[in-house]
Amino acid sequence: MTSQDPNRVLIFDTTLRDGEQSPGISLNTGEKLEIAQQLARLGVDVIEAGFPITSPGDFEAVQAIARNVDGPIIAGLARTHVADIDAAYEAVKDAERPRIHTFISTSDIHIEHQLQTTREDVKGQARAAVAHARQHVEDVEFSPMDATRADVEFTAEVCAIAVAEGATTINIPDTVGYTMPHEFTAYLERLYELVPGLREVTLSVHCHDDLGLAVANSFAGVLAGARQVECAVNGIGERAGNASLEEIAMLLHTRAPDVGLHTGIVTTEIARTSRLVSRLTGYAVQPNKAVVGRNAFAHESGIHQDGVLKERTTYEIMDARTVGLEGNDIVLGKHSGRHALKQALEELGFEVDGNALNQAFKRFKEIADRKKQVTAMDLEALVTDEMREDLDAFTFAWFDVEASSRRPPHATVGVRMPDGEERSGSFTGDGPVDAVFHAINAATGVDAKLREFRVDAVTSGRDALGEVSVVLELGGRPAAGQGVSTDIIEAAGRAYVRALSNARRRARLEAREEPVAATP
């Protein structure tokens, strides 16, 4: 492999590409940029910023990331088509270190049914694509898609071609999450035997979680010699998702004495990255999720609590501070001024100035009036919530709810439309939140149906900020959104309106897009 330190495992983050392909997720350019900046702080080696040919929005986001995010390699995905590779190049070319990632399937199932071509043609396409990409950039990654269900001999031939044409990374995807760790190890060992040039490039693995084995398979890949792991924050991605970045990073960190490998991940940034991705995608993190779930460091049974109180390591293999879940003690009160807020935000890594600072200060004051202490977690939730205001989206402007135990609740809401006009709507519903959601439908003139609703507290305490996640369905498509406020109804309204904006953005993108066949 090419990396100098043989024990260093590169972390290739695909949250913004494979992760963004999860149903219901639709991030705008500003949100993608915010996540990419945080991924850079987290210390990932490669950010796969998107699939530029798929839509002008994807292209623009990849280009913005390439131009503004320093540190990691910025990769753009491309099929083997010339137009895809050229679009990926145009989008990433301004990065300090651009990469083109091109792929084609090597499994017969995909070759016959999806690509409707032959093995010979696949070899030709791989050869031409890598050669073309190498004319643009030095750093080219090639993936034989659905490799683990493909004939290993044929996949080896294709990989050998890619290496001969100058690919610098060969990535082996378990596209449908089908393989098992011992099988994957054997597969990679066989590839090493069949493709001698594989030792001269970086071997990478990209595993999906359909059978819950994405992290185990990625780890098997690393033990077999891979030195790049493709993964996504909170494990988001197509279907059951990708290998979860935080689990891979903490596995290699925690078991380093035994495994002897390391990554460049700044582990104390893990929890924050997870929260940011969850808020911006609207995908809540399950409470028992390894490393970043709310209960990942909670001890319920008396015996466990007793043990941890006596000695933390009796029941904890990691320290919550190592992943940034504790130890952040910035606290502001209702008398804190704009300067203190700006400074606190800077400590958290947010550069907020001008109008954005005024807006954040206004929200901070509203919250500080209702809450005794505003903590780092509150600030982070507030700023992330505030930064999401998108000029081309609906905004939840105000609400009025009349609720009593004797009459069904009645809500009236004001929603600012993308063109700036404010419209109101009213509804009498089964509960106050139901009434607000229907009133929003009435104001915006859409007929969305609520599919999931969840309320979490940002911190502990009776005055904690509430964080609401909703998934709604519009025109047969899911869309997710999240909102934060000290008032649950307001948080719910914000979340619902965001999900509507995401659905609208997704529908508009799809109307402008050419359908991309064989999207992984």
Q: Nearest residue by C-beta to ligand KIV?
A: 173
Tell which positions 11-30 bind Zn ion, by CB under 5 A: 18
In degrees, to the nearest 5, what angle opens at C-alpha 243 toward C-alphas 510 and 376?
85
According to the 3-state scheme, what is the secondary structure of 22-47? CCCCCCCHHHHHHHHHHHHHHCCCEE
Task: Give the span between the Cα atoms of 183 and 180, in whole angstroms.
Answer: 5
Nearer CB in complex with ligand KIV: 214/470: 214
Q: Is the dihedral of CA 479, 485, 488, 489 positive or negative?
A: negative
Q: How far is the CB of 283 from Zn ion (least distance, A)?
A: 16
Assess 520 for contact with ligand KIV (CB under 6 A): yes
Nearer CB in complex with ligand KIV: 231/252: 231
CB 463 within 8 A of CB 486: yes
Residue 441 binding result from Zn ion, ligand KIV, none, given CB thresholds of 5 to 8 Å by partner type: none
Assess 52 for contact with ligand KIV (CB under 6 A): no
Nearer CB in complex with ligand KIV: 88/374: 88
Q: How far is the CB of 520 from ligand KIV (least distance, A)?
A: 4
Residue 185 binding result from ligand KIV, Zn ion, none, given CB thresholds of 5 to 8 Å by partner type: none
Task: Give the span between the Cα atoms of 390 and 13, in whole angstroms.
Answer: 25
Task: Give the span between the Cα atoms of 168 and 206, in whole angstroms.
Answer: 16
Nearer CB in complex with ligand KIV: 231/280: 231
Q: For residue 48, what are the β-bridge partners?
A: 75
Number of residues that bind ligand KIV (CB under 6 A): 10
Assess 99 for contact with ligand KIV (CB under 6 A): no
Task: Give the span between the Cα atoms of 520 and 53, in whole angstroms.
Answer: 13
| Residue linked to tokens 């060969």 | 170
Sequence-distant (≥ 6) Cβ neighbours of residue 486 within 8 angstroms? 366, 367, 370, 371, 463, 465, 466
CB 262 within 8 A of CB 253: yes
Q: Which stretch binds ligand KIV (CB under 6 A): 25-33, 82-90, 167-175, 375-383?
A: 167-175
Q: Which stretch binds ligand KIV (CB under 6 A): 91-99, 168-176, 245-253, 451-459?
A: 168-176
Q: How far is the CB of 481 from ligand KIV (least distance, A)?
A: 25
Sequence-distant (≥ 6) Cβ neighbours of residue 334 within 8 angstroms? 365, 368, 369
Beta strands in 329-404 (DSSP E): 331-332, 374-375, 395-402
Tell which positions 171-230 bind ligand KIV, by CB under 6 A: 171, 173, 175, 206, 208
Tell which positions 135-164 bind ligand KIV, by CB under 6 A: 143, 145
The length of the chain, given as a count of residues? 520
Site string for ligand KIV, 309-338 (x = CB under 6 A): ------------------------------
Q: How far is the CB of 48 from ligand KIV (least distance, A)?
A: 9
- For 105, the 3-state DSSP assignment is strand
Tell which positions 12-31 bind ligand KIV, by CB under 6 A: 18
CB 165 within 8 A of CB 131: yes
DSSP string, 254-298: HTHHHH--B----GGGHHHHHHHHHHHHT-PPPTT-TTTSTTTT-
Q: How many Cβ atoms from other residues are within 10 Å of residue 313's Cβ?
A: 10
Q: How far is the CB of 165 from Zn ion (least distance, A)?
A: 23
CB 444 within 8 A of CB 415: yes
Q: How far is the CB of 10 from ligand KIV (least distance, A)?
A: 15
Q: How far is the CB of 252 from ligand KIV (least distance, A)?
A: 21
Residue 103 binding result from Zn ion, ligand KIV, none, given CB thresholds of 5 to 8 Å by partner type: ligand KIV
CB 173 within 8 A of CB 143: yes
Q: Which stretch binds ligand KIV (CB under 6 A): 169-177, 369-377, 421-429, 508-516?
A: 169-177
For the chain, helix (H) and strand (E) counts, in that order, are 17, 16
Q: How far is the CB of 441 from Zn ion (least distance, A)?
A: 35
Q: How far is the CB of 72 from Zn ion (least distance, A)?
A: 19
Nearer CB in complex with ligand KIV: 104/374: 104
Q: How far is the CB of 65 from Zn ion (least distance, A)?
A: 19
DSSP string, 429-442: -SSHHHHHHHHHHH
Q: How far is the CB of 177 from ligand KIV (least distance, A)?
A: 9
Nearer CB in complex with Zn ion: 15/469: 15
Nearer CB in complex with Zn ion: 52/414: 52
Number of residues that bind Zn ion (CB under 5 A): 1
Task: Give the span between the Cα atoms of 391 and 416, in whole angstroms.
Answer: 10
Q: Nearest residue by C-beta to Zn ion?
A: 18
Please report, as ranges, the residues that interact with ligand KIV according to CB under 6 A: 18, 103, 143, 145, 171, 173, 175, 206, 208, 520
Please report, as ranges, the residues that interact with Zn ion according to CB under 5 A: 18
